[in-house]
Amino acid sequence: MSNNWDVIVVGAGPGGSLAAKKCAAHGLKTLLVEKKKTPRDKVCSGMVMGEWAQKILVDEFGEIPDDVLVEPKNLLGYAVHVPGAPIQTLDVNTPITWRKRLDYWMNQMAQSSGAEIWDNTRVTDVTEKDGRYTVELRRDGNLYRVNSDFVIGADGARSAVRGSLFPEIKTTYWHCYRECYDVKLDLPERRFNFFSTIETAPFYFCTHDKGGYMLMEGGSAIGTIKDTIAQSRQFLIDHHGLYANIEPLWRDGCVEPILYRELFTGEFRPARGNALIIGDAAGLNMPVTGEGVGTSLKSGLDAAKSIIQSEETGDKSDITYLQTIDELVAKFQDIYAFSRRIKAAATENNPKALSDALLESWDHSLKLY
């Protein structure tokens, strides 16, 4: 068990896996630390959404193998449902998986490129001294300290790396749920259906078919999730033939961090020296659509490139990394502006304008790069 690494990546989701793969392939001694036993699942619809996200994935990992995808394997795109307006669709071929499969496939690719993976290992603290990082971790009930030149925080919503290195950032969380039903509803097939109403906009919930089941997913402010789930269910009972007494086969949930204000004002710039924060840990899930696999891949790739460049120039890696993050955050601000249009359409009691604004915001974000 080595104590010294060039790069330690914390969190083996898509962003961490890609960053570790890229650094290891460049010859850097890379450790990927994951809290859970792999393969691990993640509450997610499991779509690789933006065309730009699909391109990063294929360029860096290759085509997603057939056995990693789940039926129907590729969605035809999205369908917007607003009562009082016609259903509108957006055609974008979209691979769909269970994250357990997708992330494990990526973990294995990182390992094949030379990264060492320690799963079942939780990072509890990260400190910096004289430009070196000490990462404290718990494994099999024991406490270890390992050191590195670079740290990447890819540890998701409740990031321990963000907490250690940016204690001044007080994160707000959004509560998300997922319920799996053994039912087929009268909804457009092979579509990610999202539902919004004049009363609930800008929020929406969604359904899609996956592996022969119907998944219902959504989110709300902490403390209101039970009501939100009940409202979503009732909507499907009233409009799409869900049986009133059906129980989900299983349900789970998670939180997502809301750091838009901090990112937009520059109060939170997710890198310091050679410690770089990516993906959900950096609050980089997309406004309006909630896309986060693509942004974690993008920021993971940018972090790895910045580290490789830093190795060559001797400059701190945050300089280049933060330039790419500033560009991404500027694009987030453009998308965030759609929220105002969505809210205005709802205030004007205009279902068609609401549906148009939703459709256009999704189209815009899927073509971000």
Ligand X SMILES: Cc1cc2nc3c(=O)[nH]c(=O)nc-3n(C[C@H](O)[C@H](O)[C@H](O)COP(=O)(O)OP(=O)(O)OC[C@H]3O[C@@H](n4cnc5c(N)ncnc54)[C@H](O)[C@@H]3O)c2cc1C
Report the Cα 342 to chain-centroid distance in Å: 23
Looking at the chain, list the stretches that DSSP marks H as alpha helix, in order from N- to C-terminal side: 14-25, 51-61, 99-112, 160-165, 225-240, 260-265, 293-313, 318-347, 351-366
Interacting span for ligand X (CB under 6 A) from 44-52, 82-90, 325-333, 341-349: 44-52
Q: How far is the CB of 208 from ligand X (least distance, A)?
A: 9
Nearer to ligand X, 49 or 346 (CB): 49
Member of 5, 8, 9, 11 binding ligand X (CB under 6 A): 11
Member of 43, 180, 185, 237 binding ligand X (CB under 6 A): 43
Nearer to ligand X, 44 or 187 (CB): 44
For the segment 326-365, give every residue that binds ligand X (CB under 6 A).
none
Q: How far is the CB of 88 from ligand X (least distance, A)?
A: 19
**Contact call for residues 15 and 21 (beta carbons, < 8 A):** no
Q: How far is the CB of 270 from ligand X (least distance, A)?
A: 11
Q: Is 92 a binder of ligand X (CB under 6 A)?
A: no
Interacting span for ligand X (CB under 6 A) from 9-17, 85-93, 222-230, 257-265: 9-17
Q: Return the structure tokens found at 43.
A: 């509450």
Size of the site for ligand X (CB under 6 A): 40
Q: How far is the CB of 31 from ligand X (least distance, A)?
A: 11
Q: Return the structure tokens found at 201.
A: 């906009």
- Whole-number Cα distances in Å, 155 to 34, 56, 296: 8, 20, 11
Preceding amide of 202 cis, omega within 30: yes
What b/e sequence results for 211-249 when a residue is b if at least 16 CB atoms lie within 10 Å of its CB, and e otherwise?
Answer: eebbbbbbbbeeeebeebbebbbebbeeebebeeeeebe
For the segment 142-161, give every residue that binds ligand X (CB under 6 A).
154-156, 160
Q: How far is the CB of 127 from ligand X (least distance, A)?
A: 15
3-state helix, strand, coil in the chain (%, to 5): 35, 30, 35
Q: Is 16 a binder of ligand X (CB under 6 A)?
A: yes
Nearer to ligand X, 10 or 31 (CB): 10
Task: Count CB-CB contacts under 10 A for residue 15.
Answer: 36
Q: What is the C-alpha separation between 71 and 79, in angstroms, rounded? A: 18
The binding track of 198-237 with respect to ligand X, each residue x by CB under 6 A or -, is -------------------x--------------------
Nearer to ligand X, 42 or 316 (CB): 42
Q: Which amino acid is at 354?
A: L
End-to-end CA distance of the chain: 41
Nearer to ligand X, 105 or 351 (CB): 105
Q: What is the C-alpha separation between 28 and 5, in angstroms, rounded? A: 8
Q: Is 311 a binder of ligand X (CB under 6 A)?
A: no
Interacting span for ligand X (CB under 6 A) from 68-76, 143-151, 165-173, 292-300: 292-300
Nearer to ligand X, 43 or 319 (CB): 43
Interacting span for ligand X (CB under 6 A) from 41-49, 104-112, 144-152, 306-314: 41-49
**Contact call for residues 156 and 282 (beta carbons, < 8 A):** no
Interface residue list for ligand X (CB under 6 A): 10-16, 33-36, 40, 42-47, 49, 122-123, 154-156, 160, 176, 178, 217, 254, 256, 279-281, 285, 290-294, 296
